[in-house]
Chain A
Amino acid sequence: DVKVTQSSRYLVKRTGEKVFLECVQDMDHENMFWYRQDPGLGLRLIYFSYDVKMKEKGDIPEGYSVSREKKERFSLILESASTNQTSMYLCASSLVVGGEQYFGPGTRLTVT
């Protein structure tokens, strides 16, 4: 079974803090994704990566950056957290480009 894990289920941070969200997958997938999920808006793609050290902007990259130093790990960074970044963050991975994506359990981030 593919397993995608995320470092925290719940996180509370203050405005202006630097926040790191970690995602690890154990199935040697090339492709990894970061989404945020908000009521009424569905899942929106923040960044994705097709390979180590490679990253591409998704639909809403502003205020975020990512890091992929190892194949199994994809990190999402909020350089200076703001209240409008309060959301559920979901990481996903896929074996082939455009293939079925496997999701982690999500991190519910609250920025106060």
Chain B
Amino acid sequence: GQNIDQPTEMTATEGAIVQINCTYQTSGFNGLFWYQQHAGEAPTFLSYNVLDGLEEKGRFSSFLSRSKGYSYLLLKELQMKDSASYLCAVRDKGMTTDSWGKLQFGAGTQVVVTP
């Protein structure tokens, strides 16, 4: 199984940069996802990393270090609409059908953007 840790809450001002860290311990790693979830809404996909390094997508970037069991999501030029919960999810690399493909989610990081 996996153990996934991310901070509970972060606050930043509009226009700033925020970095959300995610550490994980897993018996078999096969990819890491970041999702955004606004209050009362469904999570939506932001990014996916399976190899080490940085993936950039507009204002959002995600980094992965498999050897350190570590990822971060970087939000640049923060906007008020970025206030949301950000979920880190690790995909299992199971050896049997019943575990491969399952995602284990962290508890989420609530980002509050202030004017």
Contact = CB atoms under 8 A, between A and B. Distances in A.
A98 B42 contact: no
Interface string B77-91: 000000000010101
Interface residues of B, number: 26
B29 to A, nearest CB: 12
Contacts of A31: 101
B103 interface: yes
Contacts of B108: 42
A94 to B, nearest CB: 8
Interface stretch (A64-72, A76-84, A101-109): A101-109
Interface of B: 4, 8, 30-31, 33, 40-45, 48, 87, 89, 91, 97-98, 100-108
A97 interface: yes
B103 A101 contact: yes
B44 A103 contact: yes
A101 B45 contact: yes
Interface of A: 4, 31, 35, 40-45, 48, 50, 56-59, 90, 94, 97-106
Contact of B48 (A4, A56, A100): A100
A41 B108 CA distance: 8
B101 A103 contact: no
Given A97-B100, A100-B48, A105 B41 contact: yes
Contacts of A104: 42
A7 to B, nearest CB: 15
Contact of A40 (B43, B91, B102, B107): B107
A57 to B, nearest CB: 7
B91 to A, nearest CB: 5
Nearest to A57: B98
Contact of B105 (A42, A56, A97, A98): A42
A90 B43 contact: yes
A105 B39 CA distance: 11
Most chain A beta-carbon contacts within 10 A, residue among B4, B41, B91, B103 = B103
A101 B45 CA distance: 7
A54 to B, nearest CB: 9
Given A56-B98, A98-B100, A103 B107 contact: no
